[in-house]
Amino acid sequence: MPSISRDEVAHLARLARLAVTDDELDLFAGQLDAILNAVAQVSEVSQQDVPPTSHAVPLTNVFREDVVRPCLTQQQALAGAPAAEEGRFRVPRILGEEQ
């Protein structure tokens, strides 16, 4: 049976860029453990020689014609931005102190 520890949940939350609280970690660790125990039933078929299905409709490489078409204006693209400056997205610094 799988089990997931509080430390693992904390690690996954970091990977997923979620600044979760200690209380959330306590709650989620228990809940996720129960959920994983339930869904692990699928591993019963893992040894079967069955092709995986990623998609209900088999489609590959859908292209459109390579022609110019209208798109969002700069103003539209920036309309929902938390911060914009000189027609561009204004973002926090990319590098941390140690970098």
Partner 1 sequence: MSELIRLSAADLADKIHKREVSAVEVTQAHLDRIAAVDGAVHAFLHVNTEGALAAAAKVDEQIAVGEVASPLAGVPLALKDVLTTVDEPTTVGSKILENWLPPYDATVTERLRAAGVVILGKTNMDEFAMGSSTENSAYGPTHNPWDLERIPGGSGGGSSASLAAFEAPLAIGTDTGGSIRQPGAVTGTVGVKPTYGTVSRYGLVAFSSSLDQAGPCARTVLDAALLHEVIAGYDPMDSTSINQPVRPVVEAARQGATGDLKGVKVGVVREFRGEGYQQGVIDCFDAAVQQLRELGAEVVEVSCPHFKYALGAYYLIAPSEASSNLARFDAMRYGLRVDGGALGELSAEEVMSLTREAGFGPEVKRRIILGTYALSAGYYDAYYGSAQKVRTLISRDFSAAFEQVDVLVAPTTPTTAFKIGERIDDPLAMYLNDLCTIPSNLAGNAALSVPAGLAAEDGLPTGLPVMAPALADERMYRVAAAYEVARDAAQGGPLINRVPELEAISR
Residues that bind partner 1 (CB under 8 A): 4, 8-9, 12-21, 24, 27-28, 31-32, 34-36, 38-46, 48, 50-57, 59, 62, 64, 72, 76-77, 79-83, 89-96
Q: In angstroms, give the least distance from the CB of 25 to partner 1.
A: 10
CB of 80 or CB of 87, closer to partner 1 = 80
Q: What does the alpha-carbon distance between residue 6 and residue 8 come to, in Å, rounded to a whole number?
A: 5
DSSP string, 22-55: HHHHHHHHHHHHHHHHHHGGGGGGTTS-----S-
DSSP state of 58: -
Q: In angstroms, give the least distance from the CB of 5 to partner 1.
A: 11
CB of 66 or CB of 93, closer to partner 1 = 93
Q: In angstroms, give the least distance from the CB of 94 to partner 1.
A: 5
What single letter denotes the amino acid at residue 81?
A
Residue 33: CB partners within 8 Å, gap ≥ 6?
2, 3, 4
Q: In angstroms, give the least distance from the CB of 87 to partner 1.
A: 14
